[in-house]
Structure 1
Amino acid sequence: MITRTDVEAAAARIAGHVRRTPVVRVEPGPYGSAGAVWLKLEYLQHSGSFKARGAFNRILGAAEAGELPPEGVIVASGGNAGAAVAYAARTLGVPAEVYVPATAPAVKLAKLRRLGATVVPHGSEYAEAYEAATKRAADSGALFCHAYDEHAICAGQGTLGLELLDQVGEVDTVLVAVGGGGLLAGVAAALEGVAVEPETAPALHAALAAGGPVDVEVSGVAADSLGARRAGTIGYDVAVRTGVQSLLVTDEQIVEARRLVWDRYRIVVEHGTAAAVAALHSGRYRPEPGERIAVLLCGANTDPSDLVT
């Protein structure tokens, strides 16, 4: 179980290793009756996503406990978790091996290699890369860093929520794009959040409906970052405990929101990140009068060539 105390401990541990990313207040007019809307620019984090927070907390915590082996660390990833673990490992002088689906975007693979990681393509989706990575970790003795369903990873991601509160004061709602639920778990442990998922990758939505994590079919424009076949147990438990609402958006709404973020703010984000914006822009999330909303722009490891200028 992730608590605010866990998140506060993670914040102390990773201080000095991660960036304090800025918050921008934007005009609430396009979003109905919202009183204030902030964008948390977490895509400016080291490695291009929030996942650096969890990666540093996991590796530093293992080192503190004397559990970081000389074989280094292994992660399975659609790209962002791999980049985060690779960045943290390089910074801390630790070898890193990243298993990715063969469908991972070229821009993310190139980044992994620039960060010095050993990249191993395996399978056509995250679940297959994950299975191979866990076997490799067991055989080699390396520390496995789960992309989203691990206590230290989730607590590290939650430091984003504490930072947001410190920057803007109280917020009523935080819109969070969800894949496996690691970011949501940490943020919801610190403050109230609403999960936003693609209709084509509804792992948490399905888990909440079924009363526990279940396998779902995964496809669509955001599958590289939100393509977990099954929600993490930690994310699910925190969602139930805190009463998280899960909203689904279409691929078309995600694409439109991504272009809107570029056109309106000149910010380039991943399709997965744009899912959180899509909830507001499409009307899937309707603010109450005067509601104070924060939208997490959590990743920007994407090819911007398809954006309209």
Structure 2
Amino acid sequence: MHQLTYDDIKAATDRITGHVRPVAVAPVDPGTIRAAHGAALDDRPAEPCEAWFALEFMQHTGSFKARGAQNFIQAHREAKTLPDAGVTIASGGNAGLACAWAAQQQGVRATVFLPTVAPAVKVAKLRDFGADVRVVGAEYAEALEACEEFAASSGALAAHAYDHPLIAAGAGTLLEEIHARIPGLDTVVVAVGGGGLFAGVATAARHHGIRTVAVEPENCRALNAAIEAGRPVDVPVDSVAVDALGARRATALALDAARQDDVRSVLVPDGEIVRARQELWDQRRVAVEHAAATALAALTAPDLPAGPTAPNLGYRPGSGERVAVVLCGANTDPSDLVHPAEN
């Protein structure tokens, strides 16, 4: 297995700078996130934590996935391993959109396989990006099988939604930008699905001495379960955020990154994810995916059960801690986001 390194992140940064939108950051309103009770470790009086949103949902194609896709294609172009048949991927979600977009930017053919359940709006968007869209089978697994057969027969380069070092390294460039924009950052909080974003962010964060908090829904806990088992394992997936965080197994890259001392793995209930997403709309008029709200939910959930028999639910920053919360994507249906007065 290729172990992700900071050199991989730096190489990805050099490749994609100027090809993706630099992340914007915005301060979180004081009092939104409660610090842990008690004084600071050096006995100074307790201070509120300082939190920032990293607005990555404003990225091309509406999510961080554009970074990994751009790095993947450019790295293969540099290595002269990009075939005439272009790239192919099975995905009806953000990864497929990002792959098609990056391919269009680089003048590369993209063939995207989708199951029949893929929303028509995503099919249309993929075609807007110039992709050859092929709808095959009722489930993702059938689309993936067709994609693999196509790659074998055509010679197209098979991309993956998250389980590839180039994809993870591209995602890690996000932390490089956040670190440059928020001096003295202590902690970055990020949602985890299969672990591509987490692996890249945690690798870069470790280099800068920054803690990473990996947040998953209670019932989509692929990384959390892998840490417990000491190896990637299959888990059931059942969450309001399943469309983006519903990986049945975390990657080996993610587990390797999670084994560092400066990583915390926490879980949040679905109800808190829904509440955090609604709060972002009510307070900021920001419509994000449930996956993006998952990161915020870890910081804003009320006190939840704790103890030796309870899961590690949520994260409480220390006094004066400087925290960045990654809002990773906004490819969502906003129709269920209504002002309380409209309910």
Q: 1:115 aligns with which of 110, 129, 145?
A: 129
Structure 1: how far apart are the matches of 2:136 and 2:179?
39
Equivalent in the alignment of 1:8: 10
2:289 pairs with 1:289 = no
Instruction: Give the structure 2 partner of residue 280 of structure 1.
Output: 299
The range that moved more, 102-111 or 287-296, is 102-111
Do 2:50 and 2:320's aligned partners in 1 also have CA atoms closer than 8 Å? yes
Partner of 1:60: 74
1:229 paired residue among 224, 248, 252: 248
TM-fit CA distance, 1:116: 2.1
Q: How far apart are residue 256 of structure 1 and its match?
A: 1.1
Query: 1:176 touches 1:194 (CA, 8 Å); kept in 2?
Result: yes
Percent pairwise identity: 56
| Residue of structure 2 in register with 1:157 after alignment | 171
- The normalised TM-score by structure 2 is 0.85
What code does the residue aligned with 1:165 have? H
- 8 A contact 2:223–2:232 mirrored in 1: yes
Asked whether the equivalents of residues 90 and 140 of structure 2 are also in contact (C-alpha less than 8 Å), the reply is: yes
Alpha-carbon offset, residue 122 of structure 1: 4.6
> CA distance change for structure 1 residues 230 and 128 in 2, over 3 Å: closer, same or farther?
farther
Distance 1:102 1:224 in 2: 15
* Cα displacement (A) at 1:78: 4.4
Give 1:1-309 correspondences, 5 Å limit.
1-33=3-35, 34-122=48-136, 126-127=140-141, 129-191=143-205, 192-283=211-302, 284-309=314-339
1:266 corresponds to which letter in structure 2?
R
Runs of 4+ residues over 6 Å off in structure 1: none
Q: Do 1:78 and 1:225's aligned partners in 2 also have CA atoms closer than 8 Å?
A: no
Query: Can you list the C-alpha shifts for 1:204-239, whole angstroms capped at 9, x where unaligned?
Result: 111111111111122322111111111111111111
Structure 1 unaligned residues grouped into runs of 5+: none
Aligned equivalents of 2:235, 2:132: Cα separation in 1: 29
- Which shows bigger deviation, 35-44 or 196-205? 196-205
Gap change, CA 1:245 and 1:136, over 3 Å in 2: farther
Which sections of structure 2, spanning at least 5 residues, go unmatched? 36-47, 206-210, 303-313
Considering only CA atoms, is the larger Rg found in Structure 1 or Structure 2?
A: 2
Amino acid in the other structure paired with 1:13: R
Change (3 A) 1:295 1:142: same
| Contact kept in structure 1, 2:168 and 2:199, CA below 8 Å | yes
Structure 1: distance between partners of 2:199 and 2:163: 9
TM-score, normalised via structure 1 length: 0.94
In the TM superposition, residue 103 of structure 1 has moved relative to its aligned partner by 4.1
Q: 2:259 aligns to what SS in structure 1?
A: helix
Q: 1:88 to 1:242 in 2, by over 3 A?
A: farther
Residues 300/86 of structure 1: CA separation in 2 closer, same or farther (3 Å cut) = same
Q: Report the count of equivalent residues.
A: 309
Moved more, 169-178 or 99-108: 99-108
Could you tell which deviates more after superposition, 83-92 or 31-40?
31-40
Distance 1:44 1:183, change over 3 A: same
Q: CA offset at residue 289 of structure 1?
A: 1.0
Amino acid at match of 1:251: D
Q: Judging changes above 3 Å, is the alpha-carbon distance between structure 1 residues 157 and 280 closer, same or farther for their aligned structure 2 residues?
A: same
**SS at the partner of 1:256?**
helix
1:129 positional shift: 3.9
Residues 78 and 224 in structure 1, CA contact (< 8 A), matched pair in contact too: no
Q: Greater shift after overlay, 16-25 or 70-79? A: 70-79
Q: 1:136 to 1:7 in 2, by over 3 A?
A: same
1:125 is displaced (CA, Å) by 5.5
Q: Tell whether the 8 Å contact from 1:108 to 1:302 is kept in structure 2 after alignment.
A: no
